Amino acid sequence: VGGQMVVESIVETMFSGILRDPRVLFFFSMEAARVEKLKEMMVMFLVGLFGGPQKYDASTIRRVHYPLNITDFHVDCILENLTVACELNDLDASLADDITETVARARPSVTMGCTVRLELARKRTESAGTQGLWSQLGESKGLEAFVDRLYDSLQADERVKHFFAGSKLEELKRNQCTYLKQVFGGTVEYDGRDLPTIHANIRVSDFHFDSFLELALREFGNVGLDPDAIDECIVLLETVRDSVVHPSLRDHDVRKVQEAANRKPLYDRLGGERTVTMVAEEVYGRALTDDRLRSFFEKNKAKVQSIKKKMAQYICGAIGGPSAYDVADMKPAHYSMNITSFHFDAVIEILREVMHQMDIPSGDAAQVSRALQGARENVCTGYIVRTEIAKRSLAKGSDQMFRRLGESEGLARIFDMVYSMAVNDQRIKHFFEKDADRIKQGQLVFTINQLGGPKTYEGRDLLDIHLGLGVTDYHFDCFIGIFGRALQGAGIEDGTIDEALIALEPLRRSVLGRTEEDEFRALAFKQGQSVIDRMGGDMSLETFVDFLYQSAVGDDRIRYYLDKGPAKLKQIQKKVYQYLSGAFGGPVQYNSADLKPAHYGLNLTNFHFDAFLEAMVAAAQQLELPEDVTDDALIIVNRVRTDVTTGFSIRREEAERRHQSEEETLYQRLGSEDGMNDFVDRLYEVVVRDKRLNNFFNAAKLAVIRKGQTQYLAQVFGGPSSEYKGRTLEEIHSVLSMSDYHLDCFFSDVERALR
């Protein structure tokens, strides 16, 4: 093995998993000092078992474990944690097997107490029935007294008390008492719902069940049962474990848990604040020389230092370190800037180059890139929302904007202001040194044409005019910035300025001689090889998409959007394949311009998009793609994040604006108390018929749930603040097996009820 130090490392790693494993956590749920003592004893035991110094008396194992209800199931869980700990400590596979096999020899000593005691109790129950046990319990009154004591203990125990709270507690207690009377030999017959149905939506783990048994065992002793009778009770209660414990909480990924527990945070792996500050410095410096970004980063010295500092602070927080940056400030700081996904991707591209040159491991660099994708919405939302509002206004006719700009005469005055600034601007004045008046007149006529005025422009096309002049994104941004300042100087209102700038933005590609497809496909090639080729070709892409959807449809965060019939799901999967084919440098089979309208009506957020990206990572791992290929694929798909999430972003922004400007609250607009009651009536008609949700709205508690929910919604929508006086949402839902899928289904039902 490598001596005692390696054994200590194995035990430390194993315990990092055990203390997070709900299947066996109960037996290790103790004070930190006792856990450390247990680790020391485990090390001594293993050292002796592996042929080292005998410092632990192995003969005590049976005596120590005899009173504990440890079964083969628990031992198997411990051995699983041990095996993974060996692997994570880089032990040879055959050696890890030898270790597990050797430790497994202690199984009989560990499980004997539980096996013998409970087997004897089972045989007594089978041969003599439960009549004697029922009598010892004191029959009906005795059991009721036991349940009273048990519930006092349950409500005081931090491990399980959240399951025993709320307005229906007395009803729960009565039903459980009736059930236990039947289990322990009483004549009362329980006629309630079966246990699997009751617990299907409650997140009870083995840890919770074992904690419940421990409290029950203690109270059995307190009401006078002898040890044999207590064992009989435990045997009877153990028969319902599988009906009570939620299956998903037994689906425990030991390797994933131990890896996460023993891996240093990304912030620490990078080298902390010092490294992050160096990265931010270098990224900023390169952005200043990148024509795509220069106009956004050229500031005075004090402003530059402030931005660098904030950039470093944000990155620190995003990768798990301390941060003094308030993320809430990011959106308003960028809202009025015309920053698009094109610019955001350019920053990420520079960041990746910097991290590569600083020899930051590719896996860590990829995680940094992914962590920063969350900033895309805050940085780009202002432009997205303003663009959408401007486009809606322009859809009514650009002639209205033309009139608000002062028509031809107004634009002529604005262009006088533009050129008075442009010919003196060090960044772009060299383009106007020859015949500035002629250029101004041509641009004015073209701009009048573009902004809704008379179509009188008869000159050359933009690409031909600008060919060979060396115009870059930087120069275009500078000129547009000057034009925006001139519009402000002319007293044009903000909405009209946005419309004008949005109407001119498409000219960028014409001036620079590139298409949107060029921008997308530029990301798909590295050193002349496309991502699709690096993946292994078209067949590998098909397999990748298959794996992607196998992962995605099982992910409760996005399952709602993929909860379709087989034919519809296959159609969606086909479109994703077609999109990725072109995006990854293969044949273009899908028009990326269709992405935004296809997703516009869906309430898709960054949360959902990130979940989809995680499914991509899982598919890449299953296909065993190289790490750099996976990272490049994610960067490409992130390019369309805003296309997918724009619909929700726009609707949310508009809803917030209406909420702030409306004199009436949403509660009043819904019809106050009567309207709220009508809405909830319709909502519950939908919910109780929804097979995805009706388990949460069972008949026994429906009236109570409905009353509380009506009061809560009234308060949320701006009704009386004193309306709701119940428990917090966290308390209410902490015990329920409710996922994002269920919440999305509920939101869908809310929308149907409102419509």
Whether residue 162 contacts residue 735, with contact meaning beta carbons closer than 8 Å, is answered with: yes
The number of helix segments (H) and strand segments (E) in the chain equals 43, 2
Q: How far is CA 174 from CA 210, 503, 578, in A?
A: 22, 69, 59
How far apart (Å, rounded) are the C-alpha atoms in residues 497 and 491? 10
Q: What DSSP designation does 726 have? A: S
CA angle 357, 361, 363 (to 5 degrees): 125
Query: Going from the N-terminus, what domains does the chain have, and what CATH number goes with each?
Result: 4-113 (1.10.490.10), 133-249 (1.10.490.10), 266-383 (1.10.490.10), 397-514 (1.10.490.10), 527-650 (1.10.490.10), 663-754 (1.10.490.10)
Alpha-carbon torsion angle 743, 748, 752, 755, nearest 10:
110
The pair of structure tokens assigned to 711 is 């009061």
How far apart (Å, rounded) are the C-alpha atoms in residues 329 and 310? 10
pLDDT at 734: 84
The pTM for the full model equals 0.76
Q: Which residue is it, tokens 């209800």?
A: 69
Q: What is the DSSP string of 46-61?
A: HHHHTTS---S-TTHH
Q: What DSSP designation does 529 have? A: E
How far apart (Å, rounded) are the C-alpha atoms in residues 42 and 21? 18
How far apart (Å, rounded) are the C-alpha atoms in residues 684 and 706? 8
Whether residue 285 contacts residue 338, with contact meaning beta carbons closer than 8 Å, is answered with: no
How far apart (Å, rounded) are the C-alpha atoms in residues 73 and 266? 35
Q: Judging by beta carbons within 10 Å of its beta carbon (0-12, 13-18, 19+), is residue 457 exposed, middle or buried?
A: middle
The pair of structure tokens assigned to 616 is 């991509």
How far apart (Å, rounded) are the C-alpha atoms in residues 93 and 87? 7
Q: Which residue is it, tokens 């698009």?
A: 340
How far apart (Å, rounded) are the C-alpha atoms in residues 105 and 713? 59
pLDDT at 520: 67
How far apart (Å, rounded) are the C-alpha atoms in residues 355 and 730? 40
Q: Which residue is it, tokens 């949460």?
A: 696
Helix 341-357 to helix 627-638 angle, to the nearest 10 degrees? Answer: 160
Whether residue 354 contacts residue 286, with contact meaning beta carbons closer than 8 Å, is answered with: yes
How far apart (Å, rounded) are the C-alpha atoms in residues 389 and 225? 74
SS3 per-residue string spanning 118-185 = HHHHHHHHHHHCCHHHHHHCCHHHHHHHHHHHHHHHHHHCCCCHHHCCCCCHHHHHHHHHHHHHHHCC
SS3 state of residue 407: helix
Listed in sequence order, the residues at least 6 apart from 378 whose beta carbon sits closer than 8 Å to its beta carbon are 327, 330, 331, 334
pLDDT at 130: 67
pLDDT at 390: 81
End-to-end CA distance of the chain: 67
How far apart (Å, rounded) are the C-alpha atoms in residues 444 and 447? 5
Average pLDDT of adjacent 10-residue blocks, the chain of 755 residues:
93 95 94 94 94 90 90 94 94 92 93 84 73 85 93 93 83 91 87 88 92 94 89 86 91 91 90 94 94 90 90 93 88 88 89 94 89 87 83 80 92 94 93 89 90 84 89 93 94 90 87 76 82 94 95 94 93 95 92 91 91 94 91 89 89 84 87 92 93 83 86 88 80 87 94 92
Q: What's at 448, amino acid-wise?
A: I
